Amino acid sequence: MRLFFKGENMASQFDASATAFPSRRSILKTVGVGAAGLAGIPFLAACTGGSAPSASGSDSPGLTFGSGSSDDVPKRAYQAVTDAFTAKTGKKVTTNVVPHNDFQNKINSYLQGSPDDTFTWFAGYRMQYYAGKGLLAPIDDVWETIGGNYSDALKKASTGPDGKMYFVPNYNYPWGFFYRKSLWAEKGYEVPETFDALKTLAAKMQADGIIPIGFADKDGWPAMGTFDYINMRLNGYQFHVDLCSHKESWDQQKVSAVFDTWSALLPFQDPAALGQTWQDAAKALEAKKTGMYLLGSFVTQQFTDPAVLADIDFFAFPEIAMEGRDAVEAPIDGLLLSKKGGENKTARDFMAFLGTAEAQNAYAAVDASNIATAKGTDTSKFSPLNKKCADTIADAKYISQFFDRDALPAMANNVMIPALQSFIKDGKMDVKNLEAQAKTLYAAQ
């Protein structure tokens, strides 16, 4: 899976924490309680076994490729890409696969240590931040050859803070309201085009004894999708970007308006949200307990029954204000070139290769749950839902990257998760406090 805050790999995060938390260990040592000390040893041992990606050589007969795509399907998909590259050019690709949570958590030390030539990462602030710190190599020359393969929105998402190109998109996936066609046909529900229509529909569903909007926020990040969409529909894409990079203050009417608007939707969202994961909510949608569910298209991975999968459709987040529906939330995954990798011509060739339909077809042949980004990729195997996802992205004027990729990770992780969870609980939001926290955290960068 490609998302940031996945809880599934907690154990490894906890292992890592043992080293980064001196006071706790000092307590154990000082007290000298044998059993407690012994209990700590497995954690310490586990840390040393932690997989720090190692790189070797930047000689041009080959390149190293660091991959955080550790799940089986994406791992094999990237394998297919590197194999295709080797078959085409005769150059060897050495792939270092690291569990995705580890990869993301260790990115700071990874980039400062000996990173691989190219590595998997995300578009958005999380890419721009490292570009701004000079840890990445610009790839304007690569974009001269592959630029024609991408839409303007994708090009914009691949640009660094200095206007140079840094990122090569591989695939993305849109966020929208997913629903079961059969349920809607049976009850006579219609796709809402406006926010008012959405509220009317939700009220109707509630009267029918269905929870109108599936919702899960135990992991903290899914609620950011609702926030992002209401924000972009009310205040526009540019405001979303500026707010995420803290060029706009949180303590202003525009932000309060987002939460005021959301309050109207809150009674229709699943009240059990804080206790369930997105997978739980996907099951509720499958069981027709909820009427619709706002999530990324990766939700379809949960529907293993082909009959159910064929019954799934989605619609874009309805229009709220003048801003229309120009922006779509479609996080992009792709490749970056590390500073060291910038000296390796073969690594640049590999980046250029990934920006072609040929490479992305090789990827999509294995991992079909995502939408390839380059023009001219094979769409003949697309399901109607795949096609709709692809069209939604292609038609979008702006592509946002989801809050945790567009904003400072500390802001997303430490501030927004607790803030949104308490908003879900009591419907109140202290935007002054959000601004106070944002000020401190962004100043620390």
Can you give the binding site for another protein, defined by CB under 8 A? 4, 7, 10-11, 13-14, 16-17, 20-31, 33, 35-36, 39, 104-105, 107-108, 112, 126, 133, 135, 218-220, 272-276, 409-410, 412-414, 417-419, 421-422, 425, 430, 433, 436-437, 440-441, 443-445
- What's the angle, vertex CA 2, arms to CA 351 and CA 241, rounded to 5? 80
Query: Minimal distance in Å, beta carbon 100 to another protein?
Result: 12
CB under 8 Å, gap of 24 or more: what pairs does 199-206 form? 199/264, 199/265, 199/268, 201/291, 202/265, 202/268, 202/291, 203/268, 205/268, 205/291, 206/268
Query: Minimal distance in Å, beta carbon 155 to another protein?
Result: 25
Query: Minimal distance in Å, beta carbon 225 to another protein?
Result: 17
Which of 148/271 has CB closer to another protein? Answer: 271
Q: Provide CB contacts within 8 A for 365, sequence distance 6+.
A: 77, 80
Which of 352/419 has CB closer to another protein? Answer: 419
Query: Minimal distance in Å, beta carbon 441 to another protein?
Result: 6
**Spatial distance between the Cα atoms of 431 and 250, rounded to a whole number of angstroms:** 6
Which of 4/229 has CB closer to another protein? Answer: 4
Q: Provide CB contacts within 8 A for 61, sequence distance 6+.
A: 91, 92, 346
Which of 60/440 has CB closer to another protein? Answer: 440
Which of 139/420 has CB closer to another protein? Answer: 420
Which of 235/276 has CB closer to another protein? Answer: 276
**Spatial distance between the Cα atoms of 91 and 205, rounded to a whole number of angstroms:** 58
Judge whether 348 and 141 are in contact, CB under 8 Å.
yes
Question: What Å distances lie between residue 160 and 133, 391, 438, CA to CA?
Answer: 11, 26, 22
**Spatial distance between the Cα atoms of 366 and 75, rounded to a whole number of angstroms:** 9
Query: Minimal distance in Å, beta carbon 25 to another protein?
Result: 6
**Among 211, 189, 206, which Cα is nearest to 288's?**
211
Which of 46/309 has CB closer to another protein? Answer: 46
Query: Minimal distance in Å, beta carbon 158 to another protein?
Result: 20
Which of 21/185 has CB closer to another protein? Answer: 21
Please report which helix (H) or strand (E) contains residue 95, including its range: strand 92-97
Torsion of CA 262, 439, 274, 196, to 10 degrees: 10
Query: Minimal distance in Å, beta carbon 228 to another protein?
Result: 18
**Per-residue b or e along 299-329, where b marks 16 or more CB atoms closer than 10 Å to that residue's CB:** bbebbeeeebeebbbbbbbbbbeebebebbb
Q: In what order do the strands lie in the sheet with 290-296?
A: 211-214, 290-296, 175-180, 312-315
Query: Minimal distance in Å, beta carbon 275 to another protein?
Result: 2
Which of 32/90 has CB closer to another protein? Answer: 32
Query: Minimal distance in Å, beta carbon 345 to another protein?
Result: 27
